[in-house]
Amino acid sequence: MVNDDAVRAPRRTGIWFIGARGSVATTATVGALALARGRAPVTGLVTELEEIARAGLPPLDGMVIGGHDLAGSMVDRAQELARAGVVPPETVTSVLDDLAVVDGRVRPGATTTDGFAERATTDRLEQDLRAFRVEHDLDDVVVIDVSSTEPPSPEAARLGSLAELDRALDAGTAPLPPSSLYAYAAFRAGCPFVEFTPSTGPHVPALAELAKAQHLPWAGRDGKTGETLLKTALAPMFATRALAVRSWSAFNILGGGDGRTLADPAAAASKTATKAMALEAILGYPVDGPVRIDHVADMGDWKTAWDHVSFEGFLGTRMRMQVTWEGCDSALAAPLVLDLARLVARAHETGRTGPVAELGFFFKEPLGGTAHALGDQWQALTRWCSELGDASTGTGGSAA
């Protein structure tokens, strides 16, 4: 007897990037196109690990990419990234024609007027998503925000109900930042949403209500790619060895568009807040020490982070640890957004609604969950993927 699940047609998944012509989205798009052509390794893709791939995820070569942005060109950005050594030049050259096609799908983005959103703008964004789904015959469209970091938006949190939000949009007085504007349009269009930045995005009571009403999953917030990834791996070591951390100072220097954005103290406030929250959650007590992010234009698309940890051992002996992390955020983030697109699409397919706590592994601020330690998050993710695999094969135990 043939198992219908075993011969089901692969689902066609769309990825819609907010900030589609930025470094992260462009690197992810170049990577997706190269992977589909068999011209790139799967290094960095968590969803290609056996423990995660068992979840029955949509295939990488079936993904169609589009997005919103305000200006620029994906082709130009890809060539800039190649010159900077972020992406191999030969990889960019091999997908240049396909990349131009994707760039042609990028629609004009949106801003708010004096911090307020209007109905006409959300309707336009929503229609872009619906048209993309229909034109490419997609089963799912996952919207992923990789745009510039916004300042915190406490005003958006006051929108406590969907009815209140809709009235404010009709009146042009909804205090939604652009990231939340995009989340609203995505949910209205029936699209799951990933907030990969520390911006507000869907983390608004009225938007959570909308996602629930539309039976949609979402994930966030602030992708965990570098220094915080290291911190959430190292902090449990101190906790489980009963070593007392006295201070943990983190200093980050970076260039590129993200560095320019974070040179604004208001925008940096969102980022430093999510970077700092993991330590207390893991250790169980507050830890002294600054978290700094400074823009150095000469760094380009690269980043250096230096952590200085002071801790106390047996009989009060004082000790120190210093760690330097050097990397490229775009190359670290790009595979993760592809991973999240596949996982969130699978969550939607299986009827998941609201924030997906099991995806906390990918985020500095794991909305929907409380675990911050990387190992605990990994266990939660792999258990969930095993359950998804069991659901797709119809087995009651672990997937083979």
Quote the pLDDT of residue 169.
94
Q: Please give the mean pLDDT across all residues of the chain.
A: 91
- Give the residue-averaged pLDDT of 374-387: 97
- Give the residue-averaged pLDDT of 227-253: 95
- Give the residue-averaged pLDDT of 314-336: 95
* pTM score of the predicted model: 0.91
212's tokens: 């629930």
Query: What CATH class is the domain 227-327?
Result: alpha beta
Query: What CATH class is the domain 4-223+331-393?
Result: alpha beta
Q: What is the pLDDT of residues 125-182, one digit of tens each?
A: 999 999 999 999 999 999 999 999 898 888 988 899 999 999 999 999 999 999 999 9
The residue with greater pLDDT, 329 or 113, is: 329
Residue ranges per domain, the chain? 4-223+331-393, 227-327
Q: What is the pLDDT of residues 111-138, one digit of tens each?
A: 877 778 889 999 999 999 999 999 999 9
